[in-house]
């Protein structure tokens, strides 16, 4: 996530919380550049050649832009619809009810409620205009769990406040977990590795999810974002977005590209842990949300990463004597904790709850 912005004439330089920086000259998005669309039906094929064909498309997209649409992915849209409806119910609660599950109550984790206008990722004049609720992997909801009794760090509102909230959100989470594990195998093929190379990393994965509400912005994109420009933490993200639009991706040209909604699709993006492990072969692309579309926007990103106990060791096909590993090796848990705490410390609502970090 971003922390600091400088403005020099029309050029803006942003320092990200992963340590990187970038500049852009215009806040006006373009539709001239396109995000690739990949047909996911073949990832479920029994024919290895079908899966390799998809992997080649994933390789190109992950290398060139770090984003792609996934269509024909096999997940019933009823799960997304139910989750969006529960998101609307939760965000309609009184503020004091939502603050009962404020993220500041849980050290070292990003779970719980993130209030409106509590972050400012790019140092704009106005705080980011969005609110969110996050939850983590729960082994009891994972059909493939190693230990179904493992405790979860997530916190939940009372079922009397939002009936069926947890059940509905985990129903969708479980569907996305299955898809993410299959995509991990496709990514292995994309990196010219054995298909099962990452299997040990995802038996107990990092698999958080969030729902977000973005009111319509009245301020210009020069003064406020829905969510400021940032990169994600884990290996990859699977985003469910409604038909409002607003997601923008920074292309290699330095222009913002609109990720226009495609009905029934997911938007998939590479995140920082995969960029680190692949020694910058995969691109963890900067993105943001600007909601100037005249109505509220809702989205539900699913953040998938590797077992926190595993070392983020370099992928063997991405390192060599000519291109040695550029990142220090640490566990996924160490990297997650560093990024989580760095971001949560910028939450301007921390002082609302006594004893929060």
Instruction: Tell me the CATH number at 168.
Output: 2.60.120.330
245 has pLDDT over 90? yes
State the helix-helix crossing angle for 77-91 and 165-190, rounded to 10 degrees.
130
How far is it, in rounded angstroms, from Cα 124 to Cα 219? 11
Determine the average pLDDT of the residues in 3-8: 38
How far is it, in rounded angstroms, from Cα 112 to Cα 155? 6
From the number of C-beta atoms within 10 Å of its C-beta (0-12, 13-18, 19+), residue 9 rates as: exposed
Residue 214 lies in a domain: yes
The residues facing 135 across adjacent strands are 209
Residue 10 lies in a domain: yes
203 has pLDDT over 50? yes
Contact status, residue 289 vs residue 227, Cβ threshold 8 Å: yes
Residue with the larger pLDDT of the pair 54 and 223: 54
How many structural domains comprise the chain? Answer: 1
| CB atoms closer than 10 angstroms to residue 320 | 10
Residue 45 lies in a domain: no
Contact status, residue 109 vs residue 149, Cβ threshold 8 Å: no
Residue with the larger pLDDT of the pair 195 and 15: 195
Tokens of 196: 């099962």
Full domain range(s) for residue 326:
2-34+76-352
Look at residue 3 in the predicted model and tell me its pLDDT: 38
pLDDT band at 253 (very low <50, low <70, confident <90, very high): confident
Residue 57 lies in a domain: no
298 has pLDDT over 70? yes
Look at residue 339 in the predicted model and tell me its pLDDT: 83
Consecutive H or E run containing 83: helix 77-91
The residues facing 13 across adjacent strands are 6, 23
- pLDDT per residue as tens digits for the range 40-94: 999 999 999 999 999 999 999 999 999 999 999 999 999 999 999 999 999 999 9
Residue 54 lies in a domain: no
Nearest CA among 350, 357, 331, 354 for reference residue 114: 350
Residue 196 lies in a domain: yes
How far is it, in rounded angstroms, from Cα 96 to Cα 70? 38
State the helix-helix crossing angle for 48-64 and 165-190, rounded to 10 degrees.
90
Tokens of 92: 């309609």
Q: What is the mean pLDDT of the chain?
A: 89
Determine the average pLDDT of the residues in 153-178: 97
Residue 113 lies in a domain: yes
Look at residue 199 in the predicted model and tell me its pLDDT: 97
Residue 70 lies in a domain: no
């Amino acid at each position: 996530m971003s922390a600091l912005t400088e403005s020099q004439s029309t050029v803006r330089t942003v320092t990200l919380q992963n340590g990187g920086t970038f500049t852009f000259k215009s806040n006006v998005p373009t539709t001239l550049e396109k995000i690739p669309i990949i047909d996911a039906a073949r990832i479920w094929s029994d024919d290895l050649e079908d899966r390799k064909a998809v992997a080649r498309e994933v390789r190109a997209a992950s290398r060139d832009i770090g984003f792609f649409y996934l269509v024909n992915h096999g997940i019933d849209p009823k799960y997304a619809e139910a989750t969006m409806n529960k998101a609307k119910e939760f965000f309609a609660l009184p503020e004091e009810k939502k603050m009962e599950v404020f993220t500041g109550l849980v050290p070292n984790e990003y779970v719980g409620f993130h209030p409106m206008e509590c972050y400012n990722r790019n140092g704009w004049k106005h705080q980011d205009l969005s609110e969110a609720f996050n939850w983590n992997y729960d082994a009891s909801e994972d059909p493939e769990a190693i230990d179904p009794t493992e405790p979860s760090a997530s916190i939940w509102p009372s079922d009397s406040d939002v009936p069926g909230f947890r059940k509905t959100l985990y129903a969708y989470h479980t569907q996305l977990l299955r898809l993410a594990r299959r995509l991990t195998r496709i990514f292995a093929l994309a990196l010219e590795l054995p298909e099962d190379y990452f299997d040990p990393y995802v038996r107990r994965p990092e698999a958080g999810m969030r729902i977000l509400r973005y009111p319509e912005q009245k301020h210009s994109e020069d003064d406020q974002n829905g969510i400021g420009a940032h990169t994600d933490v884990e290996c990859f993200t699977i985003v469910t977005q409604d038909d409002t639009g607003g997601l923008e991706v920074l292309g290699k040209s330095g222009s913002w590209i609109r990720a226009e909604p495609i009905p029934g699709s997911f938007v998939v993006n590479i995140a920082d842990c995969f960029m680190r492990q692949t020694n910058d072969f995969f691109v963890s692309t900067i993105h943001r949300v600007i909601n100037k579309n005249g109505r509220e926007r809702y989205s539900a990103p699913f953040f998938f990463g590797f077992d926190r106990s595993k070392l983020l060791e370099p992928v063997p096909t991405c390192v060599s004597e000519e291109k040695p590993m550029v990142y220090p090796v640490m566990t996924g848990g160490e990297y997650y904790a560093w990024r989580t705490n760095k971001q949560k410390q910028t939450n301007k609502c921390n002082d609302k709850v006594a004893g929060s970090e």
